[in-house]
Amino acid sequence: MELDTSTMTALWGAVVLSGVYHGANPGMGWPLAVSAGLMEGRNRAMLNAIGALAVGHLLAMLAILLPFSVMSAMARWQTEIRIGAGALVIAVGIYLLLNRRHPRFLSRIHPTKLALWSFLAAMAHGAGLMLVPIYLGICGLDVADTGHDAARALMGQNIASAFLVALAHTLAMTVAGGVIAVAIYAYFGLKFLSHTWFNLDVVWALSLVLVGALGVYFALRGH
């Protein structure tokens, strides 16, 4: 099914906005970039930390999206796949609402391994899952020919879409988190941060439930 321009624009807008949302969330790591810059007293240390966080986040997005890109080639099961993905996202959101404790293993990772920390933090918080319903709306799920050649072509197309979605999302996440980190490091300082800390745990969990519910809704509508 071909999506109209307005629908496709809205879906790609959601990819970018979710990236900005992830970047603004302290739980995705920008305070660690500020800390790295302040501890070493060098701008480059903060920029390197932002880059490492971006690499880890990108890998986490791909780790979630690529399996769905393979499954989405099974066009005859497109509705079931999208409903299942939406239900999974809802379940993770509800779990995070009930369990507010942050994973302890994240605090045991050495500060120099920021890419690994970012990857595990994104996986633990379900950041990649938030993209799945949006991604399944973007990638091609419907083909007239369900033979092997058509399935391979569709799989290749959807894998490429997974990389594009992950890259666009991570770029938006990096810019948003980077801007906040630079502003605090260069202008406001840790004192400002200590007085304005914001916790998005509940909002994060509710947003997962919302995105999952929308994914199920649009799957049932046949979009």
* Of 39-43, 137-141, 169-173, minimum mean pLDDT range: 137-141
Distance (Å, whole) CA 176 – CA 163:
20
- Which pLDDT value is given to residue 61? 94
Confidence of residue 128 (pLDDT cuts 50, 70, 90): confident
pLDDT value at 156 more than 80: no
End-to-end CA distance of the chain: 8
Please say if the pLDDT value at position 164 is more than 70. yes
> In the predicted model, what is the mean pLDDT of residues 92-121?
77
For residue 135, the number of C-alpha atoms closer than 13 Å in the C-beta half-sphere is 33
Q: Residue 208 has which token pair?
A: 């997962």
pLDDT of 151 > 60? The answer is no
**Residue that wins the pLDDT comparison between 66 and 73:** 66
Average pLDDT over residues 122-151: 72
Could you read off the pLDDT of 184-219 as tens digits, one per residue?
Answer: 887 776 666 665 555 667 788 888 888 888 888 877
**Tens digit of each residue's pLDDT (9 = 90 or more) over 24-69:** 888 888 888 888 888 887 788 889 999 999 999 999 999 999 888 8
In this structure, which long-range contacts are made by residues 93-99, counting pairs with CB atoms below 8 Å and at least 24 apart in sequence? 93/126, 93/205, 93/206, 93/207, 93/208, 93/209, 93/210, 93/212, 94/205, 94/209, 96/125, 96/126, 96/201, 96/204, 96/205, 96/208, 97/202, 97/205, 97/206, 97/209
With contact defined as beta carbons under 8 Å apart, do 53 and 118 qualify? yes
pLDDT band at 144 (very low <50, low <70, confident <90, very high): very low
